[in-house]
A and B are shown apart, each in its own frame.
Chain A
Amino acid sequence: MSAAEQAPTSGRHDGGAAEQAPTSGADRVVLELDGVSKWFGSVVAVSEVSFTVGPGVTALLGPNGAGKSTVLRLLCGLTRPSQGTVRVLGTDPAAEPSLARHVGLVPQQEGLFDPLSALAFVRLAAVLQGLDDPDAAARAALDLVMLDPDDPRPVAGYSKGMRQRVKVAQALVHDPEVVFLDEPLTGLDPRQRLHLIDLFARLGDEGRCVLVSSHVLDEVERFGSRVLVIAQGRLAAEGDFRAIRDLMDDRPHRIRVRCEQARALAATLVDEGAVVAVRLTGPESLEADVSDVASFRRIVPARAAAAGARLHEIEPLDDDLESVFRYLVGR
């Protein structure tokens, strides 16, 4: 059923899924935070965060300063939790440097090796990883991000989108199982964004665990509906964002329907108890405040089909990721 889980606002939740973590398969646990808190002096960066992430693309969302980058740093082993445990592929990233063999990181800041060609730059990463054939690995990684390994130009001469892909290639050169990307789409133009989003989806389909932090929700909706939302240092929600929206029982969905025989449909919806309120806004349109959204979504097409009424439009007015995010961070 629903893969979503809305984290309780107080107290920690027990990650039941983590205990029975299988070692392979689509629902194997790759990343795990269990009761993790991190504070710097008296400043709490994240507080009692628990979640698990499996293979595929997951978006890490949250307002600026809410603890997103701390979570990424913890997962990369760049900082240790003040409390709780962090596991990447079952080991502690801060204690086990060899884990870097299985993890790729695309950082936010620009690289420092601009005078090098893309191949030389990625090859350097391969050498640092101690790969047997760094040249072949670098070429394969550049192929993966659709760049020409034989382009002699220095990376400095590349467009922002191409440089971003070089960074991704550099992170993928050792064929890691886990890839972290911190705001990888910043500064890219629409076409470059689409290319990278496709690439993320491809990496996810290959069975890698791809965790992407992003601010552009419109795009997050495209590269995967699975999200982790961090707000005010705590986990606010995890799962498919549409399932998260469905969990928000206290907020009726507002849905606009345009169809033939709208009045009869409205009556049916009231009879079935699927709506809190329904307004006829025209002879062929109605707006409903929906409590039982799953029933509503089935009843409308079924009733219309039975009556031979044409459905022009079903338009949810508040369940895009933007609205979900706004509800969750409560601002």
Chain B
Amino acid sequence: MSDARILDRGYRRYDGPRLGVSASVRSLAVQTVQRALGLRRSPWSKVIPFGTVAIAYLPAVVFVGASVFFGDAISRAGGIRLPSYGQYYGFVSAAIFVFAAFVAPEVLCTDRKTGMLGLYLASPLTRDTYLLGKLLAVLGVLALVTLGPPLFMLVAYTVNGRGPDGLVEWVTVFARMVVAGLAVALAAALLSLAISSLTTRKAVAAAGVIFVLAGSAGVSDALIRSGGASPNLFLVDLVQLPLELVFRIYGEPFHVDSPAAAQVGTGTLAAAYVAWCAVFAGIVWLRYRRLVVTK
């Protein structure tokens, strides 16, 4: 008997599993992260994301190197200290700025400028689940610079026997690190998503993010230094506020470089942080609620 056969290569029904909306959100988030990082795109699309990540990790690499090679000398010198985990954010705030100004416009404006948003909303996603996927993606990319480098330092120190003492202490530091990293990422993500939801032009959105961040910091600083103004004006500073929150989360005895920072209670600080996040999230949500995709 011959084993020859001709197979029908026509259209085939799909009888396999159909996953739910959570799988759609995951696919959206993964695809969005890939596009934001320039993966499966032209080499030029990779320059900003890869450059930013490199800048964010460079100090960590230097500190770990210093600790490994000159650790004993540094501790003998007494006066010289390597930065704490909380202080590290001061070194990477530029990288956070760049990502905040670059990632959300890239992932949100592009979908509206092209017709991709129409395709997304014709899939099982809704406006809300679409935004959830986008938020997860932006958070993920920002966590690369807000959470990744401290985590790298923690692991490197631990491997070198210079990490936190004991398991309890290690887990505490780790937990604080995750919360702090995500807190900074979330604020930056929501702010830049809010601004990106207001325009379809990436460059305008990026400029807007920088403008709002720098503007809020400048206004807050000027008012505080002019004297007599309430220290609560510090809460307007969208750059320093999350960084100050990081010190409180780590429980470190440092403050950001502002005369008012130390005077603001941790509860007030946290409340202001939550309020800002709610405002930004509200802007995005309202914008997309009203957006007419097709008529």
Q: Do chains A and B directly touch (beta carbons under 8 Å) in the complex?
A: no
Binding site for B on A (CB under 8 A): none
Binding site for A on B (CB under 8 A): none
